[in-house]
């Protein structure tokens, strides 16, 4: 996965159980971000930061799509509890996470397990990957993405 290549298309169910595909957003900028789990501290902070910045992203003609292995029902709960104002996609089979190479071996307290590596892909209106952030640190990330989007739109 590298900048300049076509972003792999996918179809996943959103928080309402409606199937959404990347191709649905052709002609718009897409902030596609992968996160490990609904209602955890880092993932909540990231979702809330993107929600707070949503008016700026809309002004830049960009949509935000959050993807995690959580269920549609979990996403509904997360959105309601945290007032998230953008689409969350359910990747329970981890197929999209694998395609985007964010399903990784991780370790915590000496225990190894598979999980989502927090990552963001900025996709241009033609469907090409314009920028990639891997191993994202939550603090300031939404602003970092917004700044990159502004620069790329010039």
Number of independent structural domains in the chain: 1
CA dist 6 to 13, 32, 125, 131, Å? Answer: 22, 14, 11, 12
Q: How many CB atoms lie within 10 A of CB 131?
A: 17
This prediction has a pTM of 0.94
Question: Which domain CATH number covers 42?
Answer: 3.40.30.10
> Does 8 fall in a domain?
no
> Does 18 fall in a domain?
no
pLDDT band at 107 (very low <50, low <70, confident <90, very high): confident
43 is annotated as an active-site residue: yes
Secondary structure element (H or E) that encloses residue 75, with its range: helix 72-82
Give the integer Cα–Cα distance in Å for 9 and 6.
9
> Does 22 fall in a domain?
no
Domain that holds residue 103: 28-153
| Residue 3 confidence (pLDDT) | 92
| String of DSSP letters for 141-152 | HHHHHHHHHHHH
> Does 57 fall in a domain?
yes
> Does 21 fall in a domain?
no
| Residue 154 confidence (pLDDT) | 74
> Does 70 fall in a domain?
yes
Mean pLDDT of all residues in 92-121: 93
- Within the chain, residue ranges assigned H as helices are 41-59, 72-82, 95-99, 141-153
| Sign of the dihedral defined by the CA atoms of residues 71, 76, 79, 85, in that order | positive
pLDDT band at 16 (very low <50, low <70, confident <90, very high): very high
Q: How does pLDDT run across 108-120, given as a tens digit for each residue?
A: 788 898 999 999 9
Give the integer Cα–Cα distance in Å for 99 and 14.
18
Give the 3-state secondary structure of residue 19.
strand
> Does 139 fall in a domain?
yes
**Contact present, 125 and 29 (Cβ < 8 Å):** yes
Out of 31, 43, 84, 116, the active site residue is 43
Mean pLDDT of all residues in 71-77: 96
> Does 131 fall in a domain?
yes
* 113 φ/ψ angles, rounded to the nearest 5 degrees: -160, 165
pLDDT band at 104 (very low <50, low <70, confident <90, very high): very high
């Amino acid at each position: 996965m590298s900048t300049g290549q076509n972003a792999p298309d996918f179809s996943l169910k959103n928080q309402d159980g409606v199937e959404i595909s990347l191709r649905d957003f052709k002609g718009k900028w897409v902030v596609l971000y992968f996160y490990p789990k609904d209602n955890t501290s880092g993932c909540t902070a990231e979702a809330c930061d993107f929600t707070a910045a949503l008016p700026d992203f809309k002004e830049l003609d960009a949509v935000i799509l959050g993807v995690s292995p959580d269920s549609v029902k979990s996403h509904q709960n997360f959105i309601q509890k945290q007032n998230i104002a953008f689409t969350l996609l359910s990747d329970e089979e981890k197929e999209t996470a694998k395609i985007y190479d964010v399903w990784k071996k991780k370790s915590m307290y000496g225990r190894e397990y598979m999980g989502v590596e927090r990552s963001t892909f900025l996709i241009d209106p033609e469907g090409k990957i314009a920028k990639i952030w891997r191993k994202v640190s939550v603090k300031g990330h939404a602003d970092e993405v917004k700044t990159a989007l502004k620069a790329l739109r010039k």
